[in-house]
Amino acid sequence: MNDWVIALIKVVFIWTWTLIIATIMTWVERRGSAMIQDRLGPNRAGPFGLFQPLADGIKLFTKEDIIPEKAHKILFNLGPILFALPAFSAYAVVPFGDKIVIGGKEILLQVADVNVGFLYIVAVGSMAVYGIVVGGWGSNNKYSILGGLRSTAQLISYEVPWGIVLLTTVMVYGTFSLREISLAQQGTFLGFLPNWGIFKQPLGFILFIVTAYAEANRVPFDLPEAESEIVAGYHTEYGSMRLGLYLFGEYVNMYTLAALMVTLFFGAWHLPYVDMSKFLSPFAYGIASFLVFFAKVAFFLWLFVWVRWTVPRFRYDQVMGLGWKALIPLALANLFITALVVQLTV
Amino acid sequence: MSRQLDAQAGHGTGDFVTINIGPSHPAMHGTLRVVALTDGETIVEADPEIGYLHRGVEKLAENLTYHQFIPITDRLNYCSAITNNVAYEMAVEKLMGIEIPDKAKVIRSIMMELARISDHIVCVGILGVDLGAFTPFFYLFIQREELYEIFEWYNGARLTNTFGRIGGVEADLPEDFEERWRRLVPNLRKAIDETDKLLTHNRIWMDRTIGVTAFSAEDALNWGFTGPCLRACGVKRDLRKDEPYYLYDQLSFEVPVGKHGDVFDRYMVRMIEMEESIKLVDQLLKIYKEFGPDDPLMAKVPKVLKGPEGEVYAAIESPNGELGFYVKGDGSDKPYRVKIRPPCYMVYQAFPELVKGEMVADLIACLSSLNIIAGELDR
């Protein structure tokens, strides 16, 4: 097979897969919240309401597409695209398994093993804020502007500790490539712990998960769309598929962040204490590594849902306070300690 | 003030922006409206505008007979319609000098305490929703549903109960009322307990509520606060204790008080009051069991009620505070004038004062914790 074809297949696969995950996540969110809240949740469309996302999709596509009269037409149209596009692109460098051998050809389960994978994620991830700001501004609605402002402030503040934590992991593993980081997490650490990032960077992981929630605009950091305060925040004026793109992009973001968490801190596709590649055929190993990776991601996706339906929401100034007064100093301290340890041991 | 702020809407003056919140807004319970002048997220000035749910209830009373007005009182504080019914009936009975039978008093008290629980459930649940904690709302509302089943089972109505008649109550408690109540209590306690676990000591919840829109006891008294909002400020005033009506002076219950009058204290006062109300119903049921099935439920009242000339004011401790009815009779079968003193009205007056200098998110929290019900505010 031609390399081009393989790359194309991988792109199409990961794109569809991400779409499917995001779709299923909307179902998980609704059924999960129902489970937590002692309700039934959507259970009419298909078995266990599994076709509900499909029905929602049809609804979003067929709804009337309204652009407010006083809205800035170009920016209003641009917003959702700017939000959804980076969300989809970010996943390109995150691996979704080790490698698979088909017809004697070794295929890496990753769209692109870029040697600056980290920088790519940080760069593309930061783009999402434009979608929110542009959408909020273009709507010509005060609630939207407030939501956009909150979001800008939040994303910019939380990208700093986020970036520092990423930097710390780079220092630990000595590489920018996400695949190499995944490979480095095989075996054991200190003789008895799995060689996972979380055991090397416990504080880093806590900081990462907090900032990831903020980056994904999820409760307790969902101020940009706090429905009880500013109606729906930046997407107040949006309807039909434009709104769909915003909602969808959020779930795609969640998926990318969960995958990143697994890649950096939870040993990517490695099982603790077991090396699957030793007793599985190369093809089966490829499938198994994908499944293990995805099982871990699924847990973190569920965690997003779990947290959302458990805790209240922060206030704007509290989010800023937490970001600048707690997370950034902690991230810097973590960076400093890691630097010392790396310097002394290597 | 309102007109002034309206004129600026959309333009902003200098560094400030006016934000119009309501009357149709997810956090505006019913149809309230607040025009807020904001500096970024900080509120420089908030101007509540009332009257969107004004139905002329007091005027309606003048054209209806004494009995016909009872269903209208349901529509005041629709979260606890029963207390409104009883407050009105009490005022009319006072005007006509009717002494209702003890059994009717007990039944009324039981139903009022149930209404109090359901009202507090609404307030606490919605406060959670407005602060982003959606789940406790459901835990509580499932139990409120059971309470509504009890109401429905008593006289067929769930929300607008039209409970009681002038001179007593229309029906005895259903036979297995107590059994049903016993079944409900553990679940209700569990729901309250789970809410408590999810919220009270939650760091985010504490950050969002403690110290937010704090109010001193002196200010609260000056503004005419009553009920949980006043008790949260540290004033131990509860009409059930201070000016007892019915059998409340024979019952033992605690009146919880807060310290700072902030959102957290208002929330805590309501949480404790729910527990106290459960205990009260238990005590009342004990008294109720001493009555025989044939004991009278109604005092002797004429078929056509004619209010004598004169005026009375009767007030009870409704879940929101002092709910008073001033009734003036002119000798006919219709009241000459009915004036309602809803607790919300006095509390809402202080709203601009409360939220000044706080943030937009606090405005929402404050509004929910005050439990402003548009129905009784606008009347």
Please check whether residues B41 and B184 belong to one and the same domain.
Answer: no
- Mean predicted confidence (pLDDT) in A6-11: 80
Please check whether residues B346 and B199 belong to one and the same domain.
Answer: yes
| Higher pLDDT among residues B314 and A186, named by residue | B314
Chain A contact present for B128, CB below 8 A: yes
- Mean predicted confidence (pLDDT) in A110-135: 80
- Selection from A41, A65, A21 nearest residue A250 by Cα: A21
Please check whether residues B215 and B66 belong to one and the same domain.
Answer: yes
Peptide bond into B101 cis (omega under 30): no
The residue count for chain A: 346
The pLDDT value recorded for residue B186 is 92
Q: For the segment A283-292, what is each residue's pLDDT rounded down to a tens digit?
A: 778 788 888 8
- Selection from A107, A128, A83 nearest residue A14 by Cα: A107
Crossing angle of the two packed helices A117-138 and A73-90, in degrees rounded to 10 = 160
Chain A contact present for B360, CB below 8 A: yes
Indicate the residue among B11, B29, B49 that finishes a domain: B49
The pLDDT value recorded for residue B117 is 92
Question: Which residues, including other chains, have CB under 8 Å from residue B133's CB and lie 6 or more apart?
Answer: A310, A311, A312, A313, B198, B199, B202, B205
End-to-end CA distance of chain B: 22
CB contact under 8 A, B131 and A227: no
Q: CA of A40 to nearest chain B CA: how many angstroms apart? A: 12
- Selection from A332, A205, A325 nearest residue A257 by Cα: A205
Please check whether residues B9 and B130 belong to one and the same domain.
Answer: no
Distance CA A78, CA A132 (A): 10
Question: What residues of chain B lie within 8 A of the CB of A313, using their CB?
Answer: 131-133, 204, 208, 361
Chain A contact present for B25, CB below 8 A: yes
Q: For the segment A187-234, what is each residue's pLDDT rounded down to a tens digit?
A: 777 777 777 877 878 888 888 889 888 888 887 888 777 766 777 778
Range of the domain at B340: 57-378
Question: Concatenated DSSP letters for A163-222?
Answer: HHHHHHHHHHHT-S-HHHHHHHT-SEETTTEE--HHHH-HHHHHHHHHHHHHHTT-TTS-
- Provide the CA B351 distance to its chain's centre, in angstroms: 17
Q: Assign B38 to helix, strand or coil.
A: strand
Copy the structure tokens of residue A318. 């509290």
Chain A contact present for B309, CB below 8 A: no
Out of B25, B41, B208, closest to residue A231 by CB = B25
Q: Residue A264 belongs to what H/E stretch? A: helix A240-265
Domain count, chain B: 2
- Mean predicted confidence (pLDDT) in A42-59: 85
The pLDDT value recorded for residue B5 is 52
CA Rg value for chain A: 21
For chain B, how many helices (H) and strands (E)? 16, 6
Question: What residues of chain A lie within 8 A of the CB of B25, using their CB?
Answer: 231
Please check whether residues B18 and B155 belong to one and the same domain.
Answer: no
CA Rg value for chain B: 21
Here the CATH number for the domain that contains residue B333 is 1.10.645.10
Out of B199, B204, B360, closest to residue A220 by CB = B204
Q: Assign B119 to helix, strand or coil.
A: helix
Question: What residues of chain A lie within 8 A of the CB of B361, using their CB?
Answer: 223, 226, 229, 313, 315-316
Crossing angle of the two packed helices A3-36 and A240-265, in degrees rounded to 10 = 100
Q: For the segment A130-145, what is each residue's pLDDT rounded down to a tens digit?
A: 888 888 888 888 888 8
Please check whether residues B86 and B34 belong to one and the same domain.
Answer: no
Q: For the segment A267-314, what is each residue's pLDDT rounded down to a tens digit?
A: 778 777 777 777 777 777 878 888 888 888 889 889 888 888 888 888
Chain A contact present for B16, CB below 8 A: no
Q: CA of A92 to nearest chain B CA: how many angstroms apart? A: 33
Crossing angle of the two packed helices A52-62 and A3-36, in degrees rounded to 10 = 100
Distance CA A211, CA A256 (A): 14
Name the phi and psi angles at A68, rounded to 5. -55, 145
The pLDDT value recorded for residue A346 is 66
Out of B41, B132, B142, closest to residue A316 by CB = B41
Chain B contact present for A322, CB below 8 A: no
Percent of chain A with pLDDT strictly greater than 70: 98
Please check whether residues B135 and B276 belong to one and the same domain.
Answer: yes
Please check whether residues B44 and B85 belong to one and the same domain.
Answer: no
Question: Which residues, including other chains, have CB under 8 Å from residue B324's CB and lie 6 or more apart?
Answer: B87, B91, B313, B314, B315, B316, B340, B341
Chain A contact present for B41, CB below 8 A: yes
Distance CA A147, CA A231 (A): 9
Chain A contact present for B378, CB below 8 A: no
Do A76 and A67 form a contact (C-beta atoms < 8 A)? yes
The pLDDT value recorded for residue B7 is 45
Angle, CA B164 vertex, CA B163 and CA B170 arms, to 5°: 110
The pLDDT value recorded for residue B13 is 54
Q: Residue type at B325?
A: F
Distance CA B231, CA B237 (A): 7
Question: What residues of chain B lie within 8 A of the CB of A223, using their CB?
Answer: 361
Chain B contact present for A306, CB below 8 A: no
Chain B contact present for A50, CB below 8 A: no
Q: Residue B19 belongs to what H/E stretch? A: strand B17-21
Handedness of CA B201, B203, B204, B209 (dihedral sign): positive
Please check whether residues B35 and B83 belong to one and the same domain.
Answer: no
The pLDDT value recorded for residue A143 is 84
Please check whether residues B80 and B171 belong to one and the same domain.
Answer: yes
Question: Concatenated DSSP letters for A225-249?
Answer: G-HHHHTTGGGTT--HHHHHHHHHH
Q: Is the pLDDT of residue A338 over 70?
A: yes
Please check whether residues B38 and B184 belong to one and the same domain.
Answer: no
Question: Which residues, including other chains, have CB under 8 Å from residue B229's CB and lie 6 or more apart?
Answer: B215, B220, B261, B266, B320, B321, B343, B347, B369, B370, B371
Name the phi and psi angles at B37, rounded to 5. -95, 120
The count of other CB atoms within 10 Å of the CB of residue B379 is 23
Do B49 and B30 form a contact (C-beta atoms < 8 A)? no
Question: What residues of chain B lie within 8 A of the CB of A36, using their CB?
Answer: 135
Distance CA A291, CA A180 (A): 19
Question: Concatenated DSSP letters for B243-305?
Answer: S--TTGGGS-------SS-SHHHHHHHHHHHHHHHHHHHHHHHHHHTTS-TTS-SB----SS-
Chain A contact present for B130, CB below 8 A: yes
Question: What residues of chain A lie within 8 A of the CB of B132, using their CB?
Answer: 219-220, 222, 226, 228, 311-313
Q: CA of B360 to nearest chain A CA: how many angstroms apart? A: 7
For the whole model, what pTM was predicted? Answer: 0.85
Out of B139, B204, B364, closest to residue A38 by CB = B139
Chain B contact present for A316, CB below 8 A: yes
CB contact under 8 A, B19 and A146: yes
Chain A contact present for B26, CB below 8 A: yes
Question: Which residues, including other chains, have CB under 8 Å from residue A111's CB and lie 6 or more apart?
Answer: A7, A10, A11, A14, A91, A92, A93
Residues of chain B with pLDDT under 50: 1-3, 6-10, 12
Please check whether residues B80 and B19 belong to one and the same domain.
Answer: no
Distance CA B45, CA A95 (A): 52
Question: Which residues, including other chains, have CB under 8 Å from residue B296's CB and lie 6 or more apart?
Answer: B101, B103, B104, B168
